[in-house]
Structure 1
Amino acid sequence: MLGYEDGDVVGFCFGTTLAPDTKWWGSMLTPLPAAWMAENGKRTVALNETVVRKAWRGRSVAWQLHEVWLTHRAEERVTLLVNLLDGDDAVQAVYEAWGYRKLGDQQPFADSPVFSVMLRSVAPAENSGVFRK
């Protein structure tokens, strides 16, 4: 999803649906019930990246891109990772304000940082129900 203002690209976001054989949940440091990690290729989309050009930051562009991107998604929930070394919890707080909730932590590789794993419903009005098993 690209965002434009007056013909200029101001930011983008993208992600991918988790396949039934995904490794996404395999490096959790916090144990989760198996039902939470079960994927069928339609249940969960992972938000991989959101980027906003510097001149447009602080104007809710990232949130707008995110919400428009989600309107085009058919999955029931969206997940993302937040690097715990970035921003003194500020990034995680932004995602919490967008309706995400932290599920736990994961470390995808032995030499990678530890990430917070966050989850919310694709439909913002349904966020309270996303945490059912």
Structure 2
Amino acid sequence: MTAPVKLQRYTALPHSRQKLIDLYTDVRAELLHLPNYRVDVFAERLDRHAAEPGWQSVIAYAGDDPVGYVYANTIEPDDRWWARMTTPVPTLYTAAPAVAVKEIGVTTQWRGKGVARHIHDELLATRSEPYATLMVNPAAGEGRVQRLYEGWGYTVIGEVQPSPESPVLACMARPVRDAAR
């Protein structure tokens, strides 16, 4: 069951940038000492992603307090997202633009209450792309994060290392509409 939160969709970064950075800082607190997780690196990545086509975010609020976030944008078949894959991408996922879920996170006290799934599904609810994709560290949460995404209908379609500082990630994909619920 979904926790009692209200959701706000944003299509322009100026209205949500600081909230996203603050949420990221809280959600990723234990990782901020790692080069790829530093707040300034996230802020740069957020600015770059928000300038790309189809950017949207959804923030969950408990009262006035932001407790979770997700953001995504459209990626084209020739996007660097696919080009960095270590194995060929199945053409099923690159035949048309896809939605790339770039970040999702929920504050510690709101984890396990359905907030992540709720904001994820809200984000995808209005997307026109046929497929959604995301990247996950298979070691995150001792594999629990990847299993969570598998429960949402995602399957691993390859591996990618987005930057030299990044671990090797699993690239996952699913249909936007017909995934397991």
Amino acid at match of 2:80: K
Amino acid at match of 1:27: R
Tell whether the 8 Å contact from 2:98 to 2:131 is kept in structure 1 after alignment: yes
Query: Whose RCO is larger (CA < 8 A, sep 6+)?
Result: 1
Q: Which of 91, 108, 123 matches 1:69?
A: 123
Match of 1:120 in 2: 174
Q: Which of 136, 142, 160 matches 1:82?
A: 136
Query: By how many angstroms is 1:53 displaced?
Result: 1.4
Higher alpha-carbon deviation: 79-88 or 53-62:
79-88
Q: Higher strand share goes to which structure? A: 1
Distance in 2, Cα, partners of 1:28 & 1:105: 6
Amino acid at match of 1:38: T
Tell whether the 8 Å contact from 1:30 to 1:105 is kept in structure 2 after alignment: yes
1:18 aligned to 2:85? Answer: no
Structure 1, unmatched stretches of 5+, are 129-133
When normalised by structure 1's length, the TM-score is 0.82
Distance in 2, Cα, partners of 1:18 & 1:56: 30
1:46 aligned to 2:131? Answer: no
Distance in 2, Cα, partners of 1:51 & 1:112: 18
Tell whether the 8 Å contact from 2:152 to 2:179 is kept in structure 1 after alignment: no
3-state DSSP of counterpart to 1:127: coil
**Equivalenced residues, count:** 123
Distance in 2, Cα, partners of 1:100 & 1:106: 16
3-state DSSP of counterpart to 2:118: helix
1:101 aligned to 2:155? Answer: yes
When normalised by structure 2's length, the TM-score is 0.62
What value does the CA root-mean-square deviation take over the aligned residues? 1.9
Structure 2, unmatched stretches of 5+, are 1-57
Tell whether the 8 Å contact from 1:85 to 1:113 is kept in structure 2 after alignment: no
Tell whether the 8 Å contact from 1:22 to 1:39 is kept in structure 2 after alignment: no
In structure 2, the CA distance between the partners of 1:110 and 1:9, relative to structure 1 (3 Å rule), is: closer
Match of 2:46 in 1: none
